[in-house]
Amino acid sequence: MKKVIVLIVTILVLTGCSGRNQLSQTTLDPEFFTGKIEGEITISAYDAMVYGRFLEEAARAFNEIYPDVKLI
């Protein structure tokens, strides 16, 4: 039993301290994607009250780069 607890704690420590954030601003960089994006994208969140402001800011930034896309 003690080995299982040590293994679980080790896994939690390693996953909590591993690596850096893999996302970067290049995903919204217009030079990153050279194709044309148009149409509609539906966005939803589990808890819109918590994530609402973040989603609005992200949608605004996305629309500045890709104005032909309607975000719902």
- The tokens of 5 are what? 């607890």
Largest CA distance in the chain: 58
pTM for the whole structure? 0.48
**2 vs 18: CA distance, rounded Å:** 24
Nearest to 37 by CA among 9, 69, 5, 13: 69
Query: In percent, how much of the chain has pLDDT > 70?
Result: 69
Amino acid at 8: I
What DSSP designation does 26 have? G
Per-residue pLDDT tens over the stretch 46-63: 877 778 888 888 888 888
